[in-house]
Amino acid sequence: MADTAASFRVAADAYDRYVGRYGPDLSAGLIAAAGVRPGMRVLDVGCGPGALATALARVVAEEAVAAVDPSETFVAACRARLPAADIRLAAAEELPFADDTFDAALAQLVVNFMRDPGAGVREMARVTRPGGRVAACVWDYLEGMTLMRAFWDAATAIHPTAPDEGRAMPYAREGELARLLERAGLRDVRRGELTAHASYASFADLAEPLGHGVGPAGAHYVSLAEGERARLRADLQRRLGVGNGPFRLSARAWLAVGTV
């Protein structure tokens, strides 16, 4: 796969206005599924600007949260949000922590961007104590992630070979994430789905972050000439069926949770 992780070396505020809007709902679901409780020590793998880490800090206290991400801008943004947490520049495949350090390790919308997802999940299991949980979620890019589905349908209508995340993303189909956790040696792997919502002030509010090149959709959008961008925006708005006033979109993610 192309270096999609590179599309996250962007400003944290652009990310927040793009996928970050879905973060609070998604984090609440992932934290509940992982059974995170006060008193636990937890790890957020691929923390981005810190949506999940911030939600974890509200449950377990900031000092009990560690997080890693290979993007320097995201690590800086996450550190600014959570100065008492242990935020490090690192990738999932080589976690800079000793065995059995955490009660739970969570990865929100990250496994599909890992260079070696098998190694990344095995590392998450290694740093989690026996009996602790490893939990992950990935967007249902094929259908349930409304924004991205509509974006790629509009993008492929213009360029049929546009890199539709629904086709290109691993672990985007039901059950694939659970199988990844099982292959990594986790026990009692449970699968499910999470639904998150985001509110927009207008269609322009939705389209603006794409111009910063954030994520694979943004990277594709900024590669287009302005005429094609305008066509894509118009088709995206039509497919979403939204006007220029406020609206809300839903997004489904696949969930898998296993025990170490």
Ligand X SMILES: C[S@@+](CC[C@H](N)C(=O)[O-])C[C@H]1O[C@@H](n2cnc3c(N)ncnc32)[C@H](O)[C@@H]1O
Q: Is residue 113 involved in binding ligand X (CB under 6 A)?
A: yes
Stretch of residues binding ligand X (CB under 6 A), selected from 63-71, 148-156, 163-171, 232-240: 63-71
Q: Is residue 210 involved in binding ligand X (CB under 6 A)?
A: no
DSSP state letter for 187: E
Q: Which of 10, 42, 43, 52 binds ligand X (CB under 6 A)?
A: 52
User: What's the rounded Cα separation, in Å, for the pair 200 and 207?
Assistant: 10
The single residue listed with the structure tokens 């070696």 is 116
Angle at 52 between CA 170 and CA 13, to 5 degrees: 90
Contact 67, 84 (CB under 8 A): no
SS3 of residue 151 by DSSP: helix
Q: Is residue 47 involved in binding ligand X (CB under 6 A)?
A: yes
- Give the nearest distance from C-beta 22 to ligand X in angstroms: 8
Q: Is residue 23 involved in binding ligand X (CB under 6 A)?
A: yes
Q: By CB under 6 A, what part of segment 226-255 binds ligand X? A: none
User: What's the rounded Cα separation, in Å, for the pair 214 and 132?
Assistant: 33
- Give the nearest distance from C-beta 258 to ligand X in angstroms: 18
Q: Is residue 214 involved in binding ligand X (CB under 6 A)?
A: no
Q: Which of 31, 66, 91, 255 binds ligand X (CB under 6 A)?
A: 91
Element (H, E) at 193: strand 187-200
User: What's the rounded Cα separation, in Å, for the pair 238 and 242?
Assistant: 7
SS3 of residue 229 by DSSP: helix
Q: Is residue 144 involved in binding ligand X (CB under 6 A)?
A: no
Taking the least distance from each CB to ligand X, the nearer of 170 and 235 is 170
Q: Is residue 72 involved in binding ligand X (CB under 6 A)?
A: no
Spell out the alpha helix ranges (H) of 82-143. 117-126
Contact positions vs ligand X (CB under 6 A): 5, 8, 19-20, 23, 45-48, 51-52, 69-71, 74, 91-93, 108-110, 113-115, 120
